[in-house]
Structure 1
Amino acid sequence: MKLTRLILPGRLSRKYGAQWAVAAGLTLLACLYIKEEIGSRIVDRLEVFAYDSRIRAQHGELDPRVVIVDIDEKSIGEVGRWPWSRDVLADLVGKLDDKYHVSSVGFDVTFPEPDNSAGFATLQTIAQREFGDIPRFAQRLDKIRPQFDFDARFAQALAERPAVLGYFFSNEERDVNKGMLPRPAFTTAALGGQDLDAQEYRKYTGNLPLLQQSARAGGFINPWPDDDGIIRRLPLLVRHGDGYYESLAFSTVRMALGASRVKPVFYTAEELHLDAASARAYGALKGLELNTKPRPMMIPLDRDLSMLVNYRGTGGPAGGQYRYVSAVDVLKERLPVDVLADNIVLVGTTSAGLKDLRVSPTNVDYPGVEMHANIISSILDGVYKQQPDFHYAVQLAYAVGLGLALGLLLPALAPLASIAVSLAAGGAVIASNLYMFETLDYVIPVAPALLLVAALFLFNLAWGYLFEFRKSRAMVSLFGEYVAPELVAEMAESPASYSMEGETRELTVLFCDVRGFTTISEGLDANALREYINLYLTAMSEDIRGNRGTLDKYIGDAVMAFWGAPVRLPDHASRAVATALKMLESAARLDADFRARGWPALNIGIGLNTGEMRVGDMGSRIRRAYTVMGDAVNLGSRLEGITKEYGVGLLVGEATRLAAPGFVYRELDRVRVKGKNEPVPIYEPVGRSGDVNETMQAEIGRWHEALAMVRAQQWDAAEGLLQELLRQAPERRLYQLYLGRVRRYREQPPGEGWDGVTTFDTK
Structure 2
Amino acid sequence: MNGRLTRWAWWVPLGALLLGLALVIASPVPLRTARNAVFDQFQRWFPRPYEAPAVRIVDIDEESLRRVGQWPWSRAQVARLLEALRAQQPASVSLDIMFPEAERSSQARAGGGDVEDPDRMLAEEVRRGRVVLGLALTGSAAQAGLETQAHQAHQANEALQSKAGFVLMGGDAMPSLPAFSRSVSNLPDLQAAASGQGAMTFLPDVDGIVRRVPLLFNLQGRPVPSLAAEALRVAAGQGHYRIHAAEAGGGVIDLQVGTRVLDTDSSGALWVHYGRAQAGRSIPAWQLLEGRVAAGALRDQIVLVGTSAQGLMDLRFSPLGGVIPGVEVHAQALEQIVSGQQLSRPGWAPAAEWLVALLGGLVVGVVAMKARPGRSSLVLLGLVGAIALTAWVCFRYQRLLLDPVPPWLVMTLVFAPTTLLRHRWAERRQRWMQATFSRYVSPNLIRYLLAHPQALELGGRRQRCSFVFTDLQGFTARMEAMDPAVAVTVLNDYLNGMVAIAFRHDGTLDRIVGDAVAIMFSAPVPQADHEARALRCALEMQAFARGYVDALQRQGIAFCETRIGVHSGEVTVGNFGGDTLFDYRALGDPVNTAARLEGANKFLGTSLCVSEETLQACPGAVARPIGRLRLAGRTSFLMAYEGLGMGPDAAQVDADYEQAFALMRDGRDEALPAFESLAAQRPQDGLVAFHRDRLRAGCRDDAIELSMK
2:263 pairs with one of 300, 303, 306: 300
- Contact kept in structure 2, 1:471 and 1:495, CA below 8 Å: no
**Match in the other structure for 1:42:** 30
- Contact kept in structure 2, 1:219 and 1:246, CA below 8 Å: yes
Instruction: Give the unaligned 5+ runs of structure 1.
Output: 1-9, 125-140, 268-279, 314-318, 499-569, 576-763
Per mean C-alpha deviation after superposition, the further-off stretch among 163-172 and 19-28 is 19-28
**Match in the other structure for 2:394:** 436
**Match in the other structure for 2:93:** 105
1:258 aligns to 2:258 (yes or no): no
1:495, CA displacement in angstroms? 8.7
| Structure 2 CA distance for partners of 1:462 and 1:80, relative to 1, 3 Å | same
- C-alpha distance in 2, partners of 1:230/1:14? 52
1:324, CA displacement in angstroms? 1.4
2:355 pairs with one of 376, 397, 400: 397
1:25 aligns to 2:15 (yes or no): yes
1:396, CA displacement in angstroms? 2.4
- C-alpha distance in 1, partners of 2:129/2:366? 68
1:158, CA displacement in angstroms? 1.0
**Match in the other structure for 2:123:** 155
**Match in the other structure for 1:738:** none
- C-alpha distance in 1, partners of 2:372/2:221? 65
Secondary structure of 2:398's aligned partner: coil
- C-alpha distance in 2, partners of 1:329/1:209? 30
- Contact kept in structure 2, 1:385 and 1:442, CA below 8 Å: yes
1:247, CA displacement in angstroms? 0.6
| Structure 2 CA distance for partners of 1:490 and 1:207, relative to 1, 3 Å | closer
- Contact kept in structure 1, 2:250 and 2:266, CA below 8 Å: no
| Structure 2 CA distance for partners of 1:70 and 1:168, relative to 1, 3 Å | same
- C-alpha distance in 2, partners of 1:264/1:378? 20
Secondary structure of 1:81's aligned partner: coil
2:84 pairs with one of 91, 95, 104: 95
Query: For 1:119-158, what aligned pairs fall within 5 Å after superposition?
Result: 121=109, 142=113, 144=114, 147-158=115-126
1:209 aligns to 2:188 (yes or no): yes
> Given residue 289 of structure 1, which amino acid in structure 2 is its aligned partner?
Q
- Contact kept in structure 2, 1:73 and 1:351, CA below 8 Å: yes
1:219 aligns to 2:203 (yes or no): no
> Given residue 169 of structure 1, which amino acid in structure 2 is its aligned partner?
L
**Match in the other structure for 1:562:** none
2:43 pairs with one of 51, 55, 64: 55
- C-alpha distance in 2, partners of 1:229/1:488? 51
Instruction: Give the unaligned 5+ runs of structure 2.
Output: 145-151, 457-577, 582-709
1:309 pairs with one of 265, 268, 272: 272
> Given residue 33 of structure 2, which amino acid in structure 1 is its aligned partner?
R
| Structure 2 CA distance for partners of 1:45 and 1:290, relative to 1, 3 Å | closer
**Match in the other structure for 1:164:** 132
- C-alpha distance in 1, partners of 2:33/2:253? 29
| Structure 2 CA distance for partners of 1:192 and 1:28, relative to 1, 3 Å | closer
- Contact kept in structure 2, 1:165 and 1:215, CA below 8 Å: yes
- C-alpha distance in 2, partners of 1:25/1:242? 43
- C-alpha distance in 1, partners of 2:425/2:296? 73
- C-alpha distance in 1, partners of 2:378/2:225? 51
| Structure 2 CA distance for partners of 1:409 and 1:75, relative to 1, 3 Å | same
**Match in the other structure for 1:114:** 102
| Structure 2 CA distance for partners of 1:48 and 1:114, relative to 1, 3 Å | same
Query: For 1:145-294, what aligned pairs fall within 5 Å after superposition?
Result: 147-171=115-139, 180-183=159-162, 185-186=164-165, 194-196=172-174, 197-266=176-245, 281=248, 285-291=252-258
Secondary structure of 1:452's aligned partner: helix
1:338, CA displacement in angstroms? 5.1
| Structure 2 CA distance for partners of 1:161 and 1:458, relative to 1, 3 Å | same
**Match in the other structure for 2:325:** 367
Identical amino acids, percent of aligned pairs: 28
**Match in the other structure for 1:76:** 65
Secondary structure of 2:191's aligned partner: helix
- C-alpha distance in 2, partners of 1:75/1:465? 69
- Contact kept in structure 1, 2:134 and 2:200, CA below 8 Å: yes
The number of equivalent residue pairs is 446
Secondary structure of 1:259's aligned partner: coil
1:90, CA displacement in angstroms? 1.0
Secondary structure of 1:334's aligned partner: coil
- C-alpha distance in 1, partners of 2:447/2:86? 86
Write the deviation string for residues 601-633 of structure 1: whole angstroms up to 9, x where unpaired: xxxxxxxxxxxxxxxxxxxxxxxxxxxxxxxxx
> Given residue 65 of structure 1, which amino acid in structure 2 is its aligned partner?
A
- Contact kept in structure 2, 1:264 and 1:287, CA below 8 Å: yes
- C-alpha distance in 1, partners of 2:224/2:185? 12
- C-alpha distance in 2, partners of 1:397/1:194? 28
TM-score computed with the length of structure 2 as normaliser: 0.56
- C-alpha distance in 2, partners of 1:81/1:331? 15
1:18, CA displacement in angstroms? 6.8
Write the deviation string for residues 685-730 of structure 1: whole angstroms up to 9, x where unpaired: xxxxxxxxxxxxxxxxxxxxxxxxxxxxxxxxxxxxxxxxxxxxxx
- Contact kept in structure 2, 1:309 and 1:375, CA below 8 Å: yes
> Given residue 315 of structure 2, which amino acid in structure 1 is its aligned partner?
L
Which protein is bigger by CA-based radius of gyration?
A: 1
- C-alpha distance in 1, partners of 2:307/2:446? 74
Secondary structure of 2:282's aligned partner: strand
TM-score computed with the length of structure 1 as normaliser: 0.52
Query: For 1:498-509, what aligned pairs fall within 5 Å after superposition?
Result: none
1:226, CA displacement in angstroms? 2.3
Secondary structure of 2:104's aligned partner: coil
- Contact kept in structure 2, 1:230 and 1:360, CA below 8 Å: yes
**Match in the other structure for 2:639:** none
1:323, CA displacement in angstroms? 1.3
- Give the RMSD, CA atoms, in angstroms: 4.1
| Structure 2 CA distance for partners of 1:490 and 1:150, relative to 1, 3 Å | closer
